[in-house]
């Protein structure tokens, strides 16, 4: 009958590693001890009720089964130890020994416990300090992760929520996902509270889970057949250990795989090349796939010590520093932590990773330095409805200087030309934009905050270029002797040249796409309302570098916000009378886009400032009152993140993060764009104008 002190490494196996002084003890080197200590063989590698507690009379326990099996195992071990040095070991016999002892050891139980503890720690980090866990991995901004979308849609359909509205589940999930991103801090706090309760329950279960799992594994099979079969594929040989002080690690056997030496129980099966188990302090059993047995003796003790989790036994005392013993098991624990964090990160990456709705295959990065710096290119300069040839020459010479300076920093070789016109609107409408380009132009919606300049993409024989149209008075300012006026004109021109450079980068990365229809009809439909916004943000950062300009953009954004609310509210009233669905959407889309553009300029100006700047009280108060402050912060973060990684940008569809913000604001003014199940594009309307309902009785924000 088995006793209550149960050995997870059998006493008969320990016998050949005792101190050769007749004391029947081992030197134990244990994590946390200041020095090695002598431990009797009866106490080494043993724990009370390790496998099972005493059961009712006549009912066999796991420890009883193991004790009974040990009689057979002992014979196998004695046979292996009797094999002479350098001779071959029977593969089936030594494989059974290794498979049983490594699965039986406390190492496996400690591994499970450490892995569970690391998992708790990793999830806790994910909840409270997500940046530490996610590192460079971010939730996609331009799309809903496919697994999240599938999960959410399944819930909608299971609860019959989709039958309550004709809005497609995908449209609802897009809004839901954007809300999650916007209110992540609230969700994080709520999740933290829920997770604290879960952690408390789980940590209680941790006390018994490793033991129950270990007992279940051993109860099913004392010798795992797959492991034994794999070990039998090696050629086994007895190798002499000349120093006669071979370490017996708590993992019992060690193995070499693609990552090097470590505990056999954690080795990667597909890349495993050698396995070693010490038969005695003077001999090793080495299994090899490449017949290189002998050299193992040179590295064995070091590899065995580094493979331990908690302790190792030895028949000889050697001086060990307290630090070395404190760090015992470090490599194994690091490996377990790596396995755990990799598994969790892998699950997260799979959850937010590319799915059926993912973007096109990514291309190789194209950086600013990959593009031409602009030397040797030509562009036209024209005065459309004023001035004479001499005047035009003066303007062209002044322009040449500004373009040359700017071109020394950013690539503007795809500048098609610069046109000045008194009749600015006519010049925009009459500009030849090339074959197949048929886009109406609203001068009041220009990318420049003053409405005085517009860089337009045009198609030419040698690819997509950018043509700049400016109001005529800027020509006079450009050649003026008044440095203030000249500086203002150059600032506007540099803004436009920034768009030229941005468009050149896009053309270099995604040739022909600037004026081509989007492959996704829905995303293209929305993006056409904000397709100049990335260049606006980029260009504004080049020129907005003082407090006056920051305040100007802030005021413009606030005015645009007021205008968006007022005009879209009136459009609601008009729509109730005439039912003109298309007109209603175009008004809302145009003014939401205008507000987004104004906010992008403001955020860009703020990002270009060096040093502290005053908070924008009026705009922030209005956004807070309208419950848009969190949206604005997320929009600012998304714009900055996109601009920051322009050189690494390889997926054109990332631009569609603007569509998610566009949808978000359209919803606030009572419209929701959608793509129906048959593929058609549709706009849902609501009788509620959410923003006007938050302004209260006062119209002034």
> How far is residue 591's CA from residue 689's CA, in Å, rounded to a whole number?
14
Band (207; pLDDT cuts 50, 70, 90): low
Q: What is the pLDDT of residue 700?
A: 54
Beta strands in 302-452 (DSSP E): 311-314, 380-383, 415-421
Q: What is the pLDDT of residue 399?
A: 92
Q: What is the pLDDT of residue 202?
A: 60
Q: What is the pLDDT of residue 360?
A: 47
| pLDDT of residue 217 exceeding 90 | no
How many C-alpha atoms does 461 have within 13 Å on its Cβ side? 0
**Do residues 608 and 573 make contact, with C-beta atoms less than 8 angstroms apart?**
no
Q: What is the pLDDT of residue 524?
A: 93
**Do residues 397 and 539 make contact, with C-beta atoms less than 8 angstroms apart?**
no
Q: What is the pLDDT of residue 127?
A: 63
Choose from 203-212, 307-316, 456-465 the range with maximum mean pLDDT.
307-316
Choose from 207-216, 338-347, 444-453 the range with maximum mean pLDDT.
207-216
Higher pLDDT, 447 or 160: 160
Q: What is the pLDDT of residue 356?
A: 43
Task: Using DSSP bridges, classify how beta strands 25-30 and 235-240 pair: parallel, antiparallel or unpaired.
Answer: unpaired
| pLDDT of residue 181 exceeding 50 | yes
Q: What is the pLDDT of residue 166?
A: 76
> How far is residue 142's CA from residue 363's CA, in Å, rounded to a whole number?
17
**Do residues 287 and 275 make contact, with C-beta atoms less than 8 angstroms apart?**
yes
> How far is residue 185's CA from residue 566's CA, in Å, rounded to a whole number?
31
DSSP state at residue 185: H
- The pTM score is 0.68
Task: Using DSSP bridges, classify how beta strands 260-263 and 235-240 pair: parallel, antiparallel or unpaired.
Answer: unpaired
CB count, 10 Å around CB of 190?
11
| DSSP 3-state of 265 | helix
| DSSP 3-state of 160 | coil
Domain boundaries, the chain: 5-102+224-350, 111-212, 367-516, 520-530+544-701
Per-residue burial over 37-49, b if 16 or more Cβ lie within 10 Å, else e, is: eebebeebbbeee
Q: Is the four-CA dihedral 659, 665, 667, 672 of positive or negative sign? A: negative
Q: What is the pLDDT of residue 129?
A: 67
Overall average pLDDT of the 432-443 stretch: 70
Band (447; pLDDT cuts 50, 70, 90): very low
> How far is residue 191's CA from residue 124's CA, in Å, rounded to a whole number?
10
Residue that has been written with the tokens 């993006």 in this structure: 527
DSSP state at residue 130: H
Torsion of CA 161, 164, 169, 174, to 10 degrees: -100
Radius of gyration for the alpha carbons in the chain, expressed in angstroms and rounded: 36
Q: What percent of the chain has pLDDT over 70?
A: 83
Cα-flanking dihedrals φ and ψ of residue 275, to 5°? -135, 140
Q: What is the pLDDT of residue 118?
A: 74
> How far is residue 429's CA from residue 437's CA, in Å, rounded to a whole number?
12
Overall average pLDDT of the 413-422 stretch: 94
> What long-range pairs does 483-488 form, CB within 8 A, spacing at least 24?
none
> How far is residue 90's CA from residue 88's CA, in Å, rounded to a whole number?
7
Residue that has been written with the tokens 């003790």 in this structure: 301
| pLDDT of residue 196 exceeding 70 | no
| pLDDT of residue 29 exceeding 60 | yes
CB count, 10 Å around CB of 615?
9
DSSP state at residue 88: B
**Do residues 406 and 543 make contact, with C-beta atoms less than 8 angstroms apart?**
no
Band (83; pLDDT cuts 50, 70, 90): very high
Helix ranges, 233-352 (H)? 296-307, 322-326, 330-352
Q: What share of the chain is helix, strand, coil (3-state, %, to 5)?
A: 55, 15, 35
**pLDDT tens sequence across 652-665:** 999 999 999 999 99
Per-residue burial over 457-478, b if 16 or more Cβ lie within 10 Å, else e, is: bbbeeeebbbbbbbbbebbbbb
Torsion of CA 486, 492, 497, 503, to 10 degrees: 180
| DSSP 3-state of 601 | helix
Q: What is the pLDDT of residue 584?
A: 94
Q: What is the pLDDT of residue 148?
A: 76
Overall average pLDDT of the 377-402 stretch: 91
Q: What percent of the chain has pLDDT over 90?
A: 53
Band (697; pLDDT cuts 50, 70, 90): very low
Cα-flanking dihedrals φ and ψ of residue 111, to 5°? -60, -45
Higher pLDDT, 100 or 691: 100
| DSSP 3-state of 355 | coil
> How far is residue 119's CA from residue 127's CA, in Å, rounded to a whole number?
12
Higher pLDDT, 127 or 370: 370
**Do residues 80 and 16 make contact, with C-beta atoms less than 8 angstroms apart?**
no
| pLDDT of residue 614 exceeding 70 | no
Overall average pLDDT of the 142-158 stretch: 78
Band (318; pLDDT cuts 50, 70, 90): confident
**pLDDT tens sequence across 543-577:** 877 888 888 999 999 999 999 999 999 999 999 89
Q: What is the pLDDT of residue 358?
A: 43
Q: In what order do the strands lie in the sheet with 260-263?
A: 235-240, 283-288, 274-280, 254-257, 260-263
Tally: H helices and E strands in the chain: 25, 17
Beta strands in 121-232 (DSSP E): none
**pLDDT tens sequence across 321-357:** 767 788 898 888 888 877 777 666 666 666 666 544 4
Task: Using DSSP bridges, classify how beta strands 283-288 and 274-280 pair: parallel, antiparallel or unpaired.
Answer: antiparallel
Higher pLDDT, 106 or 187: 106
Mean pLDDT of the chain: 85
DSSP string, 457-508: EEEETTEEEEEEEEETHHHHHHT-S-HHHHHHHHHHHHHHHHHHHHHHHHHH
**Do residues 307 and 102 make contact, with C-beta atoms less than 8 angstroms apart?**
no
> How far is residue 16's CA from residue 10's CA, in Å, rounded to a whole number?
11
């Amino acid at each position: 009958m088995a006793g209550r002190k149960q050995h997870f490494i059998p006493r008969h196996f320990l016998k050949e590693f005792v101190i050769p002084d007749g004391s029947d003890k081992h030197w134990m080197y244990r994590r946390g001890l200041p020095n090695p200590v002598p431990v009797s063989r009866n106490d080494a590698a043993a724990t009370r009720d390790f496998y099972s507690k005493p059961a009712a009379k006549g009912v066999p326990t796991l420890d009883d089964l193991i004790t009974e099996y040990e009689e057979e195992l002992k014979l196998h071990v004695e046979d292996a130890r009797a094999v002479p040095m350098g001779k071959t070991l029977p593969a089936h016999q030594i494989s059974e020994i290794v498979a049983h002892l490594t699965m039986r050891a406390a190492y496996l139980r400690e591994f499970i416990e450490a892995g569970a503890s690391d998992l708790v720690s990793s999830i806790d980090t994910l909840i409270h300090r997500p940046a530490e866990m996610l590192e460079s991995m971010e939730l996609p901004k331009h799309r809903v992760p496919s697994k999240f979308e599938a999960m959410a849609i399944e819930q909608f359909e299971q609860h019959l929520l989709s039958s309550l509205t004709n809005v497609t589940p995908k449209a609802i999930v897009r809004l839901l996902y954007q809300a999650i991103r916007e209110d992540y801090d609230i969700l994080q706090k709520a999740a933290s509270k829920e997770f604290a309760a879960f952690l408390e329950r789980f940590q209680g279960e941790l006390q018994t889970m490793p033991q129950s799992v270990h007992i279940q594994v051993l109860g099913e099979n004392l010798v795992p057949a797959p492991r034994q079969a794999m070990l039998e594929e090696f050629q086994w040989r007895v190798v002499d250990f000349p120093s006669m002080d071979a370490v017996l690690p708590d993992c019992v056997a060690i193995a070499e795989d693609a990552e090097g030496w470590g505990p056999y129980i954690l080795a990667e099966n597909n890349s495993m090349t050698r396995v070693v188990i010490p038969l005695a302090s003077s001999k090793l059993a080495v299994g090899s796939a490449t017949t290189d047995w002998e050299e193992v003796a040179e590295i064995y003790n070091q590899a065995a010590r580094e493979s331990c989790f908690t302790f190792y036994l030895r028949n000889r005392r050697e001086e060990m520093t307290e630090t070395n013993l404190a760090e015992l098991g470090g490599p194994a624990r690091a490996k377990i932590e790596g396995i755990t964090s990799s598994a969790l990160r892998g699950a997260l990456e799979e959850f937010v990773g590319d799915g059926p709705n993912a973007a096109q295959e990514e291309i190789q990065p194209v950086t600013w330095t990959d593009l031409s710096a602009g030397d040797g290119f030509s562009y036209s300069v024209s005065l459309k409805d004023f001035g004479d040839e001499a005047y035009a020459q003066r303007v062209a010479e002044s322009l040449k200087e500004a373009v040359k300076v700017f071109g020394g920093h950013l690539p503007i070789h795809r500048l098609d030309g610069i046109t000045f016109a008194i009749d600015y609107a006519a010049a925009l409408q009459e500009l030849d934009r090339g074959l197949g380009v048929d886009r109406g132009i609203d001068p009041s919606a220009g990318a420049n905050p003053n409405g005085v300049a517009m860089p337009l993409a045009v198609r030419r024989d040698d690819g997509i270029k950018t043509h700049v149209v400016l109001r005529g008075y800027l020509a006079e300012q450009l050649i003026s002797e008044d440095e203030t006026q000249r500086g203002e004109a150059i600032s506007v021109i540099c803004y436009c040249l920034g768009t030229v450079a941005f468009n050149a980068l896009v053309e270099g990365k995604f040739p022909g796409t600037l004026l081509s229809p989007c492959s996704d009809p829905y995303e293209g439909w929305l993006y056409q309302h904000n397709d100049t916004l990335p260049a606006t943000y980029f260009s504004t950062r080049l020129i907005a570098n003082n407090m006056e300009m920051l305040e100007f953009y802030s005021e413009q954004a606030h005015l645009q916000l007021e205008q968006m609310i007022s005009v879209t509210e009136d459009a609601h009233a008009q729509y109730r009378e005439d039912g003109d669905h298309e007109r209603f959407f175009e008004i809302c889309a145009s003014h939401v886009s205008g507000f987004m553009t104004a906010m992008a300029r403001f955020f860009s100006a703020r990002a270009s400032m060096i040093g502290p700047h005053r908070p924008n009280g009026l705009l922030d108060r209005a956004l807070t009152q309208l419950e848009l402050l969190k949206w604005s912060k997320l929009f600012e973060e998304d714009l900055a993140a996109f601009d920051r990684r322009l050189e690494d940008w390889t997926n054109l569809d990332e631009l569609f993060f603007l569509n998610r913000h566009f949808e978000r604001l359209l919803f606030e003014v009572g419209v929701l764009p959608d793509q129906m199940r048959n593929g058609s594009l549709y706009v849902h309307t609501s009788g509620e104008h959410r923003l006007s309902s938050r302004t209260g009785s006062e119209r002034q924000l």
